[in-house]
Copies of this chain bind each other. A is one copy, B any other.
C-alpha cells in the first residue's frame, strides 16, 4: 500500500506475528493474502447486496430478522478487520485518515449508531444512516489493480473535461432559457414552466439521455430542440477526443524503451534510438 512506505518488514523480524498479518492484509503476493483478498471481496459483495435487498419493503417484511443477524455478523467482521488493520499498521494516523481508512470506518459505524439511537424515534434518519453502508463497495477498489491506471488517465483529463462540461452547462443555460420562452411562456407547456426545469431538460437532451418526461409540443419548440440535439451530437465527441488523446499519449509512453544508458543511466529512449539522447553513448 502506498501510504505505508515506512513499514519495512526486514527491520521488524522480532514482531513476527504482526508482520505476518500485515503481509496477509496489506499485500497480495502470498497464498494467504490472496485467500484473504478473495474472502474479503465476497464479504463486501454479499454485505452490499444485503443493504440493497433490505430497502425492498416486501423482502424486508419477510426476512427482517435474517437481514438483521447477517448484517451484525458482517459489521463485527469488518470491525475486527478495521481493528487489526490499525494494530498491524505502523503509521496508524496515515492509515486512519487515508481514503481507504475512512471507507473502512464508514462501513461499520452506521450499525453501531442504529443500536445507540432509540429505534422508535428518528426512523427516517436511521434508514438513511444505514444506507451509508453502501459505501462498502469502495472497499473493493483496493483490490483492483487496473482501476488505478484508468483513474489516472481520467484524472489527468479531468481538468479539460470539467472545463468542457462547464461550457456545455453554460450553453445549456442559454438554450434552456430560450426553450422556456418558446415553450413555457408562449405555449404554456407545463414541462417548461420555469428556467431551471428547462435547463434540466436541455442537459437531458444535449447529453443524449432523452428521458422524454418533458418534450416540446409546439413547432418552434421542436425546431429549437432539433438545434440543441444537433449541437449535442456535434460536441459529444469532445470528451471522447480528450480522453482518447490522453490514452494514446500514455500508450506511446508505455511503448517507449526500457533500455537505460550505461553512461548516464537515462531511461525513456525512443525504441528506434541507437545512442543515448542525453550523453551520446551507444545504447
Stretch in contact with the other chain, from A3-11, A20-28, A69-77, A209-217 = A209-217
Determine if B196 and A52 form an interchain contact, defined as CB atoms under 8 angstroms apart: yes
| Residues of chain B with a CB closer than 8 A to A146's CB | 159-160, 163
Interface size class, chain A: 35 or more
User: Known: A165-B234, A173-B134. Is A277-B282 also a contact (CB below 8 A)?
Assistant: no
Q: Is the CB of B264 within 8 A of A279?
A: yes
Q: How far, in Å, is A51 (CB) from chain B's closest CB? A: 7
Contact A241 B153 (CB under 8 A): yes
CA gap between A266 and B151 in the complex, in Å: 37
In the complex, chain B residues whose CB is within 8 Å of the CB of A174:
134-135, 137-138
The minimal Cβ–Cβ distance linking A61 to chain B, given in whole angstroms, is 12
Chain B residues with Cβ below 8 Å from A234 are 158, 161-162, 165, 239
- Determine whether the beta carbon of B235 is less than 8 Å from that of A237: no
Q: Are B219 and A203 in contact (CB under 8 A)?
A: no
Contacts of A271 in B (CB 8 A): 267
Interface segment among A84-92, A111-119, A222-230: the answer is A222-230
Known: A141-B170, A229-B209. A277 touches B274 (CB 8 A): yes
The residue of chain B having its C-beta at the shortest distance from the C-beta of A51 within the complex is B195
- Residue A105 interfacial (CB < 8 Å): no
Select which of B124, B154, B266 is within 8 A of A235 by beta carbon.
Answer: B154
Contact B249 A243 (CB under 8 A): no
User: Which positions in A face B, CB cutoff 8 Å?
Assistant: 48, 51-57, 124, 127-128, 131, 134-135, 137-138, 140-141, 144, 146-147, 149-151, 153-154, 158-170, 173-174, 177, 180-181, 185-186, 193-197, 199-200, 203-205, 207-213, 215, 219, 222, 225-226, 229-230, 232-251, 255, 264-282
In the A-B complex, the 10 residue pairs with the smallest Cβ-Cβ separation, listed nearest first, are A273-B277, A275-B280, A209-B210, A211-B212, A241-B243, A237-B240, A55-B195, A212-B212, A241-B244, A237-B243
